[in-house]
Each structure stands twice: as C-alpha cells, then as structure tokens.
C-alpha cells in the first residue's frame, strides 16, 4: 500500500515538473491561420497549373513551367509542414508560383491571379 502512495507522490511531482514545460511545446501551432492561408494559395495555384494548355509564347510557357515547379514544391512542403514557419514557407513558394502565372498571363493578354502584398512573418 505504501508503494501506491509513493507512486502517486512521484507521479504528482513528475506532473508538476513536466506539464508546465511540455505544455508550451505546441505554441508554434497555437493558430491555424498560416496553414489555412498556405493551403488556400496552394489550391489557387493548382487551379492555374494543373491543366495547362499549350502556349505559343515561349516565355509564357517557361513561366508556367516554373509555376508548376513551385506548385509541386509547395505541395511537398505542405505535406511535411508541422510548424508555423513551415506553412509560411509553403505559402511563400505558392505565391512565387502565382507570381509566375500572373506574369505569364500578362504576356498573353489574360487576367491572371492578383497577388496581394502581404505582411510577411519572416
């Protein structure tokens, strides 16, 4: 019986020591805003690059190719993202792709995505 009380006491001391420290571990993901924004940008970019038609303008085609590369990279980063910084990185990569799409569309006289100036976290 005494060992039960000893075990309970050790558990309480351990909880008192570890909980305040370990509870602060996930503060990096306290908000889901970055994840939502990054996925939004990623899917927006996918809308432009998943079914690309043949473009006669070589520079526009090269820009669309770059946008596709950014799309795949953003997807890979999103798949492994666990922190706020990871999601911001994925969003930045997706925005680079959207910039390329916007430039390509401008060259062929279409209205492309509008890139809002965002306040960067890093």
Partner 1 sequence: MAGAGKWFGVPRWMVVAVGVAVLLAYGTFGRSVEQPAPVSAQVRTIVDGLRTTSVYEAPGAPGKIDAARARQLIGDRPIVLVLLGTEPLPPSDDEFTQPGQDLCEQIAAVVTTSLVIVYAIEKDGRYGPSYCVGPEFSNPQNPVDAGNYDFQLIARAEVAWQYRVTEADLFPQVEEFVFAFDEQAAQDYPNGVPRRAPVIPPPPTPDTLQTWQIILSLAGILVGTIALFVALRLVGRLVVRRGARDAETRHRSEATSARLNKLADRILHPPAPKDAADARRQADLAGEYVLVLGEFEAATTPAGLAGVNERLDELEEAAT
Q: Which residues bind partner 1 (CB under 8 A)?
A: 9-10, 13-14, 16-18, 21-22, 24-25, 28, 62, 65-66, 69-70, 72-73, 76-77, 80-83, 85-86, 89, 93, 96
Q: Could you give phi then psi for residue 37, rounded to 5 degrees?
A: -65, -40
For 110, list phi and psi in degrees, rounded to 5: -110, 165
Report the nearest approach of partner 1 to the CB of residue 105 (Å): 19
Instruction: Return all residues near 98 (Cβ < 8 A) that are at least 6 apart.
Output: 41, 44, 45, 48, 67, 113, 115
The nearer residue to partner 1, 20 or 109, going by C-beta atoms, is: 20
Closest separation in Å from C-beta 89 to partner 1:
6
């Amino acid at each position: 019986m005494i060992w039960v009380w000893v075990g309970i006491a050790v558990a309480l001391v351990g909880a008192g020591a570890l909980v305040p420290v370990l509870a602060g571990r996930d503060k990096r993901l306290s908000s889901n805003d970055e994840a939502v924004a990054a996925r939004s940008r990623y899917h927006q970019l996918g809308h432009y690059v998943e079914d690309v038609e043949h473009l006669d303008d070589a520079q526009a085609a090269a820009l669309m190719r770059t946008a596709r590369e950014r799309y795949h990279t953003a997807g890979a980063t999103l798949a492994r993202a666990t922190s706020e910084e990871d999601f911001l990185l994925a969003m930045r990569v997706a925005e680079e792709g959207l910039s390329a799409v916007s430039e390509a569309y401008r060259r062929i006289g279409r209205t492309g995505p509008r890139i809002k100036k965002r306040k960067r976290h890093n």
